[in-house]
Amino acid sequence: MKKTLFLTLVLLFPFVAEAAEVSYADLQDSTATAAQIRLGADFDWRWNRVNLGLSEELRFNLMPAQEFYLANTTAYVDVKIIRSYFHAHAGYQLRLRANKFGTANLTTGKLLRHRVFFGLTEHVKFGMYKQFTLSLRERAVLNMRFDDPNLYEKQAYAWEMRYRLQLQYKALSLPLTPYVWTEIDHTCNATDFQKYYNNGHNYITASKTALGLKWKLNSNNTLNFFIRYDWTRDIDVDSNKLGTIVKQAIQEKQHAVILGVNYNFGYKKR
């Protein structure tokens, strides 16, 4: 009996192994360009080393079609650990987003996303009058979705890391602060199928660069004008529920130029 069972397993093993193999589709490329406008406002309350904030952002496509693209509501806390040189921050963000390539349906709950983040920011001031500030922000981001996705295609809880390097200059005699920053986003737990199309690794999903000018109207009110360029990339996989067949795989890339203005009201308890 044991010999018969062993022989049966040996004969069946090649068929089981073959059934476990995945049929992959060829990777296709899809590239889109967009021009967008961003309007934002944020309010923060500062007390000693703690800064509490609430912000709202709306983003609209100007081309290829004029339509809603993104809405963000964010609540956050920033704590100075070592004077103004070392900060820790954390927050929650509620996101309402249209399709990346402009086929929005605002009645669909799938557009709703939740995000939590936390990280550290290091600041270094230099120059004769310490008018330059160089900062590095390292942020861990958890994107959450509750619409029961196919986990072979997308993670329900997707981690990513974001690294932003910024340089700003504070004009000594003017209420103006020009700045420039660049940021890289990197996946931490992409699906096995997404990694397959990136040589088995996690991958960079976005590169962002902005040039801006902050205009301090008075001690509480500031306007921030900027132009920003975003390059985003994602690997969109369509598979069956068993994860044995990849029906379609598309490398989605988008180039977007964003013009924006942001209003900030900050209250500092003295």
Question: Could you tell me the residue range of the domain that residue 102 belongs to?
Answer: 23-268
Residue 9 lies in a domain: no
CATH number of residue 100's parent domain: 2.40.160
Torsion of CA 35, 36, 37, 39, to 10 degrees: -160
Residue 10 lies in a domain: no
Residue 7 lies in a domain: no
pLDDT in tens, 94-149: 999 875 544 444 444 447 889 999 999 999 999 988 999 999 999 999 999 888 88
Q: Which of 268, 166, 269, 266 is nearest to 217 (CA)?
A: 266
Give mean pLDDT, residues 27-31. Answer: 95
Domain count along the chain: 1
Residue 12 lies in a domain: no
Residue 27 lies in a domain: yes
Residue 123 lies in a domain: yes
Residue 4 lies in a domain: no
Integer angstrom CA distances of residue 170 from 11, 213, 261: 75, 10, 19
Confidence bin at 268 (pLDDT 50/70/90): confident
- What is the pairing mode between strands 27-47 and 246-268? parallel
Q: What is the length of the chain?
A: 270
